[in-house]
Chains A and B, each alone.
Chain A
């Protein structure tokens, strides 16, 4: 196990930001915390990164306790923060070199290592340029590279692509996925983007300081229902009869559209089309509707994640400030 968390909690004054959570993350796994801002994601990641002391419970990261072995935890993890922490007046290479100095990586391998991580995120050609000339996506990639510089076993990504446009977000992820492939790194991330959560092997849905569900993205989606395949056909009555006889369970129609529920929409659609075509039933159009993580979140928490995001952040922020305990 790379991360083991037992009954971990954290309060700010009377506000319980994290209310006793348990989970484990295996080696090489990509684990995501999904939830609106203010749900306790950032508080949890800060505790795991030793930036915040837990109020209760225990957390082991890479075999070290986050409270009494924080120095070892820090050396064994890489972190990419929600907000940029690069020095814009330094070149990409200088930012990385200074990181090597404060992490005390072996001096004789520094140059090679810096080139290696820069190549990994496709920034080797820009290594001499000042960071302030970089685009948002490039900065993010440089931060990911920096997080990997001291060969951590676990990489923490706190809302890694927040504030980036969808295209840039995808490109950042392309690099992250590629390095996961190359290194077998364990990745722990938080996000409130559903499409980002899809990259995870497992997802913990967190709301109000509690984990309300924890499973693979596919299993979570099964909680809210199956895929629905819709086929438009001129001969809908025969199609319904044919399909339900073939599948062995009832299907239904909406107007001239045949609707079939099943586990894997794509495969089901392909099989249905070939089966109906063989039975001489024409299929004019096909659509597959899969339950999204949005549906899962709505189902679990009773609210849509996006509408909630801004309000919740401000609410938690305001409550923390009024307690006068916002991290100093």
Chain B
């Protein structure tokens, strides 16, 4: 789902940056207030974990790339605002060190993966797991569903953004890119994301002190 430099026109890039700047500022304020000193490494670990998860990506004909993100998992553990920061950090490192994801497209990539995916997945998790105990199976299921829907929405948006650039920057139109990106998510990467999330949540439920550390 990383959009490289050159795939989006400068105007679109500008719009996404403009949207993300206040979100990032808010995330920074909220997380700083609720984060205790000893939890700081958790942010970096979350970002590093997401980085490794995102390494396993494959190109999608007609779209960009498809991969799991771990975004909703991190949101479940640390809260959505912290997850927003983590995923943004991962995207920044990938953009600068590997060119994976453009620096002009950072705003758009963050919007898709660090904002929409995180918050939609997280609130679906909250909805489905409403009032169930922290160690229940419903929580695990909720996290999986949240992750699946979150990543699929992000994939859909990515396809939309790419398709809208037809003629100027993208070789494909909306129909193709949306279909391809969303389809790959529904049938492949959405399931992998859900699977990884479910396994991790189940594992952490059994361990003391790691589940729902919550920074917001």
Chains A and B form a bound pair = no
B residues touching A (Cβ–Cβ < 8 Å)? none
